[in-house]
């Protein structure tokens, strides 16, 4: 009986692969390959998730619609005898603004109407008046805001104005903020318009 048990143990020892045997090497290699594949799979999932997130955020940014400022807008500070009304036509990159200003009294009694046409995203437009004043203006989008960059040069004096238009969520309020820099110093202005 003891002899049979010893024979079985010898067979078992012979069947079990040693650490240096080709079978054991193949098993180790298989384990390493499986581990590497698992690591690569986790890395692939991470890259895939980052790619999908980037695509979603990029499409949202690219698909962000620009507001339409078209309409008739009245300065909230206007009164029955004085104030400002702007009629805006916006079509693609074309922007036309008609400004109707009512002057309250004194020597300035009456009103003034001016008309401006801009190209959104176009090159800077430069004009020179008969009295030698040079006006330069450009208009561009910054997010959902329209930005006007103006430079007025009269002799040695230069005035730069950065005007930003923004529209309320309900589309009924237009806010125009201006930062003005000149030889006199700097100033900030704000005008709020309500859609008529």
Query: Rounded to two decimals, what is the model's pTM?
Result: 0.65
Q: Which of 130, 133, 165 is nearest to 147 (CA)?
A: 165
Read off the pLDDT of residues 75-123 as tens digits, 9 standing for 90 and up: 999 887 788 999 999 999 999 999 999 876 544 566 889 999 999 999 9
8 A C-beta contact, residue 149 and residue 137? yes
Read off the pLDDT of residues 42-88 as tens digits, 9 standing for 90 and up: 776 765 666 655 555 444 445 568 999 999 999 999 887 788 999 99
Question: CA dist 11 to 27, 86, 142, Å?
Answer: 21, 101, 82
Residue 53 has a pLDDT of: 57
Read off the pLDDT of residues 120-143 as tens digits, 9 standing for 90 and up: 999 999 999 888 899 999 999 999
pLDDT at 152 exceeding the cut of 90 = yes
Residue 82 has a pLDDT of: 82
Question: CA dist 196 to 25, 48, 95, 173, Å?
Answer: 84, 50, 19, 10
Mean pLDDT lowest for which of 15-24, 30-39, 47-56?
15-24
């Amino acid at each position: 009986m003891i002899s049979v048990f010893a024979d079985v143990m010898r067979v078992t020892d012979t069947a079990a692969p040693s650490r240096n045997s080709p079978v054991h090497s193949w098993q180790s290699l298989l384990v390493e390959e499986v581990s590497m594949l698992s690591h690569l799979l986790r890395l692939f999932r991470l890259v895939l998730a980052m790619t999908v997130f980037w695509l979603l955020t990029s499409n949202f940014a690219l698909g962000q619609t620009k507001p339409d400022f078209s309409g008739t807008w009245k300065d909230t500070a206007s009164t029955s005898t004085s104030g400002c009304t702007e009629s805006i036509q916006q079509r693609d990159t074309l922007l036309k603004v008609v400004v109707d200003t009512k002057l309250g009294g004194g020597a300035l009694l009456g009103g003034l109407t001016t008309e401006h046409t801009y190209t959104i995203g176009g090159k800077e437009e430069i004009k020179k008046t008969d009295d030698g004043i040079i006006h330069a203006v450009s208009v561009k989008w910054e997010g959902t805001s329209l930005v006007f960059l103006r430079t007025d040069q009269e002799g040695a004096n230069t005035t730069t104005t950065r005007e930003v238009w923004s529209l309320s969520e309900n589309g009924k309020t237009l806010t125009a903020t201006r930062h003005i820099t000149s030889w006199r110093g700097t100033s900030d202005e704000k005008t709020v318009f309500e859609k008529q």
